[in-house]
Amino acid sequence: MTLKSLLTSIFSIAALSAATLLPATSAQAQDGYTTLSQVLPSDTSGKTEVLEFFSYGCSHCAVLEPKVAAWAKTLPDDVVLHPVPVGFNAGMTDMQKLYYTLVALDRTDLHPEVFKAIHQEKKPLFDLKNMSAWAEKQGLDKTRFEQTFNSFGVATRVNKANQLTQAYMIQGTPSLAIGGQYVTSPSMAKGYDQTITQAQALLKKLGK
């Protein structure tokens, strides 16, 4: 990601008013998904947005992630997928910052590798010290990684992620939000593959 594109993204985030990110007042439960009481806006220039709420520390997210990645490759051009790292408590903030650091450094190819390192290789990637050591082994410059990790841009993105988590009333990970209107998850859809099937069906409801 270039500096220009990063700044553009930051200013786009800042341009969203606080009112647009107020939590939906309620969500109506359906078979396999919930419908928010109001459609939440996005900043995707008219495209339909799919949000993938996840945490690197979540074993269920590690299972769903490759399925979401494969599904994303089949989405039409007017649908965009945005991963959103969730921080239900302060102890999860560094994992949120890790994702946005990879985004800022244009190394999202390492996104699935983080899941692998934590859940298969049992590496404790839960704080900056361990994260930067791991990142250096992946070929990233340690100093640049740490500077980006602690940057204003990454902090701004984490704040936006927290606002989205609240606005969509996300109670657990992984969860998929479709078109600012629907939310589904493995617990709602009764399975990982079923979650993708349900998400696809919800896109169809939106005419996609």
Question: Domain extents for the chain?
Answer: 25-205
Query: Could you read off the pLDDT of 179-204 as tens digits, one per residue?
Result: 999 999 999 999 999 999 999 999 99
Extract the residue ranges of the chain whose pLDDT is less than 50.
Answer: 1-20, 25
Residue 185, both tokens: 């998850």
∠ CA(194), CA(200), CA(201), 5° rounding?
Answer: 90
Residue 44, both tokens: 């995707």
> What predicted TM-score, i.e. pTM, was given to this entire model?
0.86
* Whole-number pLDDT of residue 10: 38
* Whole-number pLDDT of residue 50: 97
- Looking only at the bridges linking them, the beta strands covering 27-29 and 182-184 are unpaired
Alpha-carbon distance of 100 to 107, in angstroms, equals 10
CATH superfamily, domain at 25-205: Glutaredoxin (3.40.30.10)
Give the H/E segment covering residue 10: helix 3-15
3-state secondary structure the chain: CCHHHHHHHHHHHHHCCHHHHCCCCCEEECCCCEEECCCCCCCCCCCEEEEEEECCCCHHHHHHHHHHHHHHCCCCCCEEEEEEECCCCHHHHHHHHHHHHHHHCCCHHHHHHHHHHHHCCCCCCCCHHHHHHHHHHCCCCHHHHHHHHCCHHHHHHHHHHHHHHHHCCCCCCCEEEECCCEEECHHHHCCHHHHHHHHHHHHHHCCC
User: With left for phi above 0 and alpha for psi between -120 and 50, is residue 139 left, alpha or beta?
Assistant: left
Secondary structure of residue 17 in the 3-state scheme: coil
Check if the beta carbon of residue 39 is closer than 8 Å to that of residue 180. Answer: yes
Helix orientation angle between 192-205 and 59-72, rounded to the nearest 10 degrees: 40
DSSP 40: P
